[in-house]
């Protein structure tokens, strides 16, 4: 059983009235309240306040119901055949592939959809097959998910260089002049890959999408990690044309959880050289002749049998977003996160010490509704994020703590130096998260992350602000 949430100076109805008066545009997002009541009633029934949309979106009741009805009403077989059941599976998968391209406004003559297990799988497909060679460059921002960082292991195996573009605290943005300098270092005539997230899964910073064009004009292929961006923002591939886009559908709408996509330009996909073949990826193979022939296009990257039972559920999630409009979701979370930032940054202990240290921009300009922060006590000492998570769990708040698989952004935000980190890794042959935590203490190697999404409302934002307020004038430990 959860405990009661602490109260603000203003109760929820009064706070909402004040918020609504200050943000009259919020009323236009009312269709999302109707959606929440109709599709996400389990949130109110459970008493939970969900603030981890960057971790996972929530599925609507109708998505699950419609998908279950579809599965129960049809016979679906392995697509690698011509039987009626197989052809029905193939038809549904291909229809979903077309639907994904329409949602992202991608020209099917230019782009193709490769279904994957998730965004990480999509990123790995690019990394392992990109034709790195000696002298080539893999350029990436400090602000990247570990599944992008991991690509450096592939480039190093082939003699390419890994180059990181740093960011500047406290907003954790990239300096444009520094980026231009790095982009000018592409190897002429080589294979150069530039990777960055459209939105940081750590700080919520939205990096400029015009980097795509700027990099391509300087000889780079561009890999865009869109996983944290697309749940609340429109990615229009008729206007922004990265070579590769990685995403997970559960981040967008919660269900299905085992399906992601690599959306790739056909010309870029043709550059990739897979290091192996598998069932489903080839037109022919021989043991005695020691030969094989890849199936052209997306199929050569879809190992084995696709998740043909669940891939069609992606259409239902895209229908849901189209029903309400992702632009409306964007506006709602922008207003709510802006209010949260104002409230959190104004909090002071009686000693005058600020309660909150924010990692990232303190306004909604060029940022998403993902807030990374830490609490500090009345004497300016850090409150351990693990203790915060325990207290959040006790009052029914779902949020995240740690570094969120984004070590570059986390290290810069927390002020960890290369020397400190090298010393820590040298101290153990098998560094665990707990070992690293102890090594860098008291910097605590982590933060608190609250994020908003499709089903968020003012009460969710208010609940987090009220929770934060409960740490005012409390000691860091005890």
Dihedrals phi, psi of 383, to nearest 5 degrees:
-90, 120
- Cα–Cα distance for residue pair 63/372, rounded to 1 Å: 30
- Cα–Cα distance for residue pair 197/40, rounded to 1 Å: 29
Q: Is 96 a catalytic residue?
A: no
DSSP 3: P
Residue 382: burial class (beta carbons within 10 Å; 0-12, 13-18, 19+)? middle
Q: Give the DSSP H or E segment for 14.
A: helix 12-22
Q: Which residues contact 134 (CB under 8 A, 6 or more apart)?
A: 158, 159, 160
CB-based contact 250:314 (threshold 8 Å): no
31-39 and 61-73 helices, crossing angle to 10°: 50
CB-based contact 409:174 (threshold 8 Å): no
From 232, 262, 215, 476, select the one nearest 330 (Cα to Cα). 232
Query: In the structure encoding, which two tokens stand for residue 30, read together?
Result: 């009312």
- Cα–Cα distance for residue pair 230/201, rounded to 1 Å: 12
Query: In the structure encoding, which two tokens stand for residue 342, read together?
Result: 């104002």
Q: Give the DSSP H or E segment for 315.
A: helix 313-324
CB-based contact 192:223 (threshold 8 Å): no
The dihedral sign for the CA sequence 402, 409, 127, 133: negative
Select which of 403, 405, 424, 439 is catalytic.
Answer: 405
CB-based contact 211:179 (threshold 8 Å): yes
Across 9-39, b (16+ Cβ under 10 Å) vs e yields eeeeeebbeebeeebeebeebeebeebbeeb
448 DSSP β-pair partners:
373, 401
CB-based contact 206:198 (threshold 8 Å): yes
CB-based contact 349:473 (threshold 8 Å): yes
Query: In the structure encoding, which two tokens stand for residue 463, read together?
Result: 């609940």
- The set of catalytic residues is 405
């Amino acid at each position: 059983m959860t405990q009661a949430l602490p109260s603000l100076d203003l109760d929820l109805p009064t706070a909402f009235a004040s918020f609504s008066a200050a943000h009259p545009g919020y009323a236009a997002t009312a269709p999302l309240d109707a959606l929440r009541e109709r599709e996400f009633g389990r949130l109110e029934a459970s008493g939970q306040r969900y603030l981890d949309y960057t971790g996972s979106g929530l599925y609507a009741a109708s998505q699950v119901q419609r998908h279950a009805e579809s599965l129960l009403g049809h016979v679906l077989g392995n697509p690698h055949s011509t039987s009626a059941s197989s052809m029905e599976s193939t038809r549904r998968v291909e229809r979903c592939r077309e639907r994904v391209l329409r949602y992202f406004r991608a020209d099917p003559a230019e782009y193709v959809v490769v279904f994957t297990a998730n965004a990480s799988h999509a990123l790995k497909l690019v990394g392992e097959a990109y034709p790195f060679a000696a002298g080539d460059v893999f350029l990436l921002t400090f602000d990247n998910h570990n599944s992008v960082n991991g690509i450096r292991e592939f480039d190093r195996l082939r003699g390419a260089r890994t180059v990181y573009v740093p960011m500047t605290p406290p907003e954790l943005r990239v300096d444009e002049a520094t980026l231009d300098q790095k982009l000018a270092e592409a190897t002429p005539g080589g294979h150069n890959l530039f990777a960055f997230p459209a939105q940081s899964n750590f700080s919520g910073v939205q990096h400029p999408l015009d980097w795509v064009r700027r990099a391509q004009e300087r000889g780079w292929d561009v890999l865009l990690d869109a996983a944290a961006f697309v749940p609340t923002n429109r990615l229009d591939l008729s206007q922004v044309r990265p070579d590769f886009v990685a995403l997970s559908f559960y981040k967008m709408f919660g269900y299905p959880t085992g399906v992601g996509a690599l959306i790739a330009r056909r010309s870029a996909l043709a550059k990739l050289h897979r290091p192996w073949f598998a069932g489903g990826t080839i037109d022919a193979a021989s043991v005695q002749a020691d030969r094989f022939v890849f199936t052209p296009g997306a199929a050569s990257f879809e190992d084995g049998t696709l998740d043909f039972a669940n891939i069609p559920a992606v259409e239902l999630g895209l229908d849901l977003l189209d029903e309400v409009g992702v632009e409306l979701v964007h506006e709602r979370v922008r207003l709510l996160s802006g209010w949260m930032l104002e409230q959190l940054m104004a909090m002071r202990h009686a000693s005058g010490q600020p309660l909150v240290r924010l990692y990232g921009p303190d306004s909604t300009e060029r940022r998403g509704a993902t807030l990374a922060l830490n609490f500090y006590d009345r004497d300016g000492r850090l409150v351990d994020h693990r203790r915060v998570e325990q207290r959040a769990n006790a009052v029914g708040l779902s949020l995240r703590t740690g570094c969120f698989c984004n070590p570059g952004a986390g290290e810069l935000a927390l002020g960890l130096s290369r020397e400190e980190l090298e010393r820590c890794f040298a101290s153990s042959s098998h560094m665990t998260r707990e070992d690293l935590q102890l090594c860098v203490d008291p910097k605590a190697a982590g933060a608190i992350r609250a994020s908003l999404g499709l089903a968020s409302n003012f009460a969710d934002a208010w609940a987090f602000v009220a929770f934060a307020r409960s740490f005012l004038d409390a000691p860091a430990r005890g």
